[in-house]
């Protein structure tokens, strides 16, 4: 994971830097507050709690590129996520996941072997990064956080 952090600093919505991801299994998810898939937050919270003692983290990445479904400020996003879904996992500053403005993080994820260089299709696409810092799996937005496929991939990395 230090590989990602050496490429790009990971800054949360409150302005602090994420540290100590090295050696952890991390699920990166581009999120949005006004999407039909927004209820996935509930399962992401459960997933985060289920494996937190096993060096697993969920990291949400707000993105406004799909139907302008994440228009809020950092404070508005934090308020929505904490009040509506009790989100306690880390949320990064809003960033672009596609196009010429694609963030360094998403360039790393998308350009990986598992990312296949393919653009993100919608909100709630998921990338699983193993302890070594390599992308080990990519999941579509419709793959639920508690799906057998995703849980099996996480458990195989833990």
Average pLDDT on 31-58 reads 96
The CA distance from 134 to 137, in Å, is 9
Q: Model's pTM, two decimal places?
A: 0.95
Q: Which of 3-12, 25-34, 143-152 has the lowest mean pLDDT?
A: 3-12
- Active-site residue, from 8, 35, 63, 81: 35
Partnered with residue 17 across adjacent β-strands are 11
Examine the pLDDT at 148 and tell me if it is beyond 50: yes
The angle that helices 40-51 and 74-85 make with each other, rounded to 10 degrees, is 80
The CA distance from 117 to 131, in Å, is 22
Residue boundaries of the structural domains of the chain? 2-157
| Residues 94, 126 contacting (CB under 8 angstroms) | no
pLDDT at residue number 127: 98
At the topology level, CATH places domain 2-157 in Glutaredoxin (3.40.30)
Average pLDDT on 41-68 reads 96
pLDDT in tens, 86-139: 999 999 999 999 999 999 999 999 999 999 999 999 999 999 999 988 999 999
Active site residue 81: no
User: What's the pLDDT band for 1 if we cut at 50, 70, 90?
Assistant: very low
Place of tokens 């919270």: 45
If you write DSSP's letter for every residue of 21-57 in order, what string do you get? -TT-EEEEEEE-TTSTTTTHHHHHHHHHHHHGGGTEE
Average pLDDT on 69-95 reads 95
In the DSSP assignment, the letter for residue 147 is -
The CA distance from 5 to 17, in Å, is 10
Query: Structure tokens of 25?
Result: 């299994």
The count of C-alpha atoms lying within 13 angstroms of the C-alpha of 15, restricted to the half-sphere facing its C-beta, is 2
pLDDT at residue number 15: 87
């Amino acid at each position: 994971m230090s590989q990602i952090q050496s490429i790009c600093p990971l800054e949360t919505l409150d302005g602090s830097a994420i540290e100590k991801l090295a050696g952890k299994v991390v699920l990166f998810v581009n999120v949005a507050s006004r999407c039909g898939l927004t209820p996935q937050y509930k399962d992401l919270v459960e997933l985060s709690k289920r494996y937190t003692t096993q060096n697993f983290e969920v990291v949400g990445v707000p993105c406004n590129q799909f139907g302008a479904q994440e228009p809020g400020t950092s404070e508005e996003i934090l308020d929505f996520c904490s009040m509506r879904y009790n989100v306690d996992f880390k949320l990064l500053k809003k960033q672009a996941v596609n196009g010429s403005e694609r963030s360094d993080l998403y360039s790393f994820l998308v350009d990986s072997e598992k990312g296949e260089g393919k653009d993100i299709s919608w909100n709630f696409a998921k990338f699983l990064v193993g302890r070594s810092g390599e992308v080990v799996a990519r999941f579509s937005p419709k793959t639920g956080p508690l799906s057998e496929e995703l849980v099996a991939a996480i458990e195989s990395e833990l």
